[in-house]
Amino acid sequence: MTTETSPLAAFEITKRWPAKHPDRIQLYSVTTPNGIKASTMLEEVGLPYEAHFVSFADHEQESPEFLSLNPNNKIPAIIDPDGPGGKPLALFESGAILLYLAEKTGKLLPEDPAKRYETIQWLFFQVGGIGPMFGQLGWFLKFDGRHVEDPRPKQRYIDETERLLNVLETRLDGRDYIMDEYSIADIAIFPWLRTLTETYKAQDLVDWDDLKNVPAYLERCLARPAAQRGITIPAKP
């Protein structure tokens, strides 16, 4: 099957990023925290997929082809040629992708309804809290925010990042993972903790060394083979 004769032919994005394996899930991403969420999830559940690198340096996320899949010009995004009812499904937003893949495979999301919603609660905690707050702190530490002279905006995000870390510290007391077992909540959270420490190098600012549970939790998550692969996918051409 070629892209032209597959259900993917209807998607404009495949003209810029042709599918070598159109029967597989197509992932359009970069190894940012949100991108790593999608690649790690795909590695964990074992679904065949094809990863495409979206070059921020070349502004490919703003190209008409990419915008045809995600009008919000953010990664990750996917196309599943075998979506609900056997029809292709395009999705953007990393949280939605995690939920979709968990429900498609029956993995990494508890079957018990109460535990399922508790897991989703922590997924939303990352999407609505950790991602935006850590990301804004990173902007002040590593990107254009370094040139802002007023110290108050940066301090706002330092304080909020520290508060969120302490929420996690409390949750992880006596737990290996956010829920009883590794789940989509962990896949959502650990890439941001990794970026906070490895990319933003914010440990001193947020009192990372005063934490006990969170650093150990990050090590456990990163020790998983799927996570080790996920943080490298897609490779830069």
Q: Distance between CA 103 and CA 147 in Å, rounded?
A: 44
- Give me the amino acid identity at 183: S
Give the total number of structural domains in the chain: 2
Percent of the chain with pLDDT over 90: 96
Residue 215 reports pLDDT greater than 90: yes
- The predicted pLDDT at position 6 comes to 77
97 and 123, same domain (yes or no): no
- The tens digit of pLDDT for each residue in 69-89 reads 999 999 999 999 999 999 999
Predicted model pTM: 0.96
C-alpha to C-alpha distance for 164 and 59, rounded to whole angstroms: 32
Rounded mean pLDDT, 204-217: 98
Any idea what the CATH number is for the domain that residue 36 is in?
Answer: 3.40.30.10
Single residue among 55, 76, 107 that ends a domain in this structure? 107
Q: What is the mean pLDDT of residues 227-236?
A: 97
Kindly state whether residues 182 and 150 are assigned to the same domain: yes
Q: Which of 68, 86, 107 is the last residue of a domain?
A: 107
Q: Is 47 helix (H, G, I), strand (E, B) or coil?
A: coil
**Residue-wise pLDDT tens digits, 146-202:** 999 999 999 999 999 999 999 999 999 999 999 999 999 999 999 999 999 999 999
> Is 71 inside any structural domain?
yes
